[in-house]
Structure 1
Amino acid sequence: MSSSGENDAISLADLSATHRDLLWVLSQTGSSESGPLHHALSDYYTDGIDQTRVYNILKELIERDLVTTQTHDTTKYRLTESARRALSARQSWQAASPNAEGGNE
């Protein structure tokens, strides 16, 4: 039986690329409403992305404790500390991967 701690780190490996892209956008923008997040992803994906899909992804990320909300006049989304650590771990993994951009093939 393991205890809570470093071994319980959240991995992004089981998320879709769209989920990870949304986390990346939030890491770059900070706290944001769903509209700007939708626009950022629409600009990135050549076929665009439906706003309902963005909202559903946000709900899934909240359920996984990767995103949290703040509601005053509007709802803003932000990364949790777990998401920040998971993104950092993924970036380290990508940088160390031999198939990473700029790496040896």
Structure 2
Amino acid sequence: MYDDYSRGLESPDRPAASTVTDQQLIADGGTTWGDLTGFQRDTLEAIARLERDDETSYGLAIKRRLEPQHGEVNHGRLYTNLDALVERGLVEKSELDKRTNQYVLTDDGRGLLLQRAERLMDACEIGLAATDGGSR
């Protein structure tokens, strides 16, 4: 399991340029992949999966997506990290109803995930099929 301070298997150093994109893994707000905790990274992924599955990404749904990997996720841990992602400009928070907030990835948040996926695919020598007829 990860804790909030986990860097997983990542080096604590900031990554150099990607061989796939020749860009650093940096969101426009200056946040790098290495700036995020393992839990925050997994939270971005959970929100992306909820969006992909056309499910509303509110706190309890995000919590359910995180618990298989992190065990019981308490309220304070979840919402503190969601607020941090909002402050970094990676997630946008809006009111779903009077008691519930919805969280969606911003372009920066989605871009950070996509860049990370490209780096991992490159590291594993997995090609990405181009859908526009071009090659990657």
Whether TM exceeds 0.5 here: the answer is: yes
Q: Structure 1 residue runs of 4+, over 3 Å off?
A: 6-9
Scaled by the length of structure 2, the TM-score of the pair is 0.61
Q: Which has the higher contact order (CA 8 A, sep 6+)?
A: 1
Task: Give the length in aligned residue pairs.
Answer: 94
Residue 70, structure 1, aligned to residue 94, structure 2: yes
Provide the rounded CA distance (Å) in 2 between the counterparts of 1:7 and 1:49.
31
| Counterpart Cα distance in 1 of 2:108 and 2:38 | 18
Residue in structure 2 matched with residue 58 of structure 1 by the alignment: 82
Q: Distance in 2 between matches of 1:56 and 1:33?
A: 14
Kindly provide the CA deviation profile for residues 16-36 of structure 1, in whole angstroms up to 9, marking residues without a partner as x.
Answer: 111000000101102411011
Q: Which runs of 5+ in 2 are unaligned?
A: 1-22, 127-136
The alpha-carbon distance between structure 1 residues 8 and 87, as it changes in their structure 2 partners (threshold 3 A), is closer
Seen in structure 2, the aligned counterparts of structure 1 residues 83 and 43 have a Cα distance that, compared at 3 Å, is same
Indicate the RMSD between aligned Cα atoms, in angstroms. Answer: 2.4
Matches of residues 1-105 of structure 1 in structure 2 within 5 Å? 9-10=26-27, 11-30=32-51, 31-45=56-70, 47-73=71-97, 74-97=100-123, 100=124
Share of identical aligned residues, percent?
Answer: 25
TM-score of the two chains, using structure 1 as the length reference: 0.78
Aligned to 1:3: none
